[in-house]
Amino acid sequence: MAPNDRITELFREHADSLLRMCFLYLKDLQLAEDAVQETFLSAYRSLNSFKALSSEKTWLTRIAINTCKNIMRSKSYREPPFELSELIPAESNEFGQRETRISVSAEISKLPIKYREVILLYYYSEFKTAEVAKILKIPQTTVDYRLRQAKALLKKTLKGVDFQ
């Protein structure tokens, strides 16, 4: 398969979820789009070195997270407050009153980055803890610990959300 076709295929399959993950990482849609673009550019350039030792999803996620971290490390990056209001329309209740419900995305985005990333990778990207450990290059026990801590923090605000 030609590299362009391969990248297009990967993009169609993974770009949305990567973009959402980058968005929750960076809290900035424009930066998230930049990150995704950079991710696929990097992927294109290293298509030949992809050895399929991990899944394409794992590979792309790792590139995306590295890209996000690079962006966050840049001097120009200032973590913005997470504003979902423009993205999530407020819901109307049965009396026609607009009400804002607690947003899972917003609460996750408030977590410290080390907890945010394990929650995103484990629950959103649905990687196993061993894969999360590989992607983040940290021990699996650390992933487990951070997951427990992150869930404890989220449970305070996301009452009733089942973490299964």
Partner 1 sequence: MSIIKSEINSELNSITANEAILENVLVSTKYEKPKRLPFKKRFIAIAAAVAVLVSFVGFRVYDVLINDYFGQTLSFRVPFEDVTIYSAELTDDGIRISQSYIYTSMSVHHKFDIDSKTAELHFCFHGEEEKGGVRNDLIFQAQIHSAPGDIKTHDEFIKADGLYEIVTIYYCEGHALTGDMGGLYIGEAEKYLVWER
The residue within the footprint of partner 1, chosen from 58, 124, 134, 140 (CB under 8 A), is 124
Q: Residue 134 CB, nearest distance to partner 1 (Å)?
A: 20
Which bin fits 13, alpha (ψ -120 to 50), beta or left (φ > 0)?
A: alpha
Among 17, 54, 47, smallest CA distance to 35 is for 17
How many residues sit in the footprint of partner 1 (CB under 8 A)?
40
Residue 65 and residue 135 in contact, taking contact as beta carbons nearer than 8 Å: yes
Q: Is 90 in the site for partner 1 (CB under 8 A)?
A: no
The sign one gets for the Cα dihedral 20, 25, 31, 36 is negative
Among 80, 84, 90, 91, binds partner 1 (CB under 8 A): 84
Distance CA 116, CA 150 (A): 7
Q: Which stretch binds partner 1 (CB under 8 A): 33-41, 60-68, 72-80, 128-136?
A: 33-41
Give the residue with the Cβ less far from partner 1, 84 or 130.
84
Nearest to 65 by CA among 4, 147, 138: 138
Per CB under 8 A, residues contacting partner 1 are 3-4, 7-8, 11, 15-16, 18-20, 23-24, 29, 32-33, 36-37, 40-41, 44-49, 84, 87-88, 103-105, 108, 119, 123-124, 126, 161-164
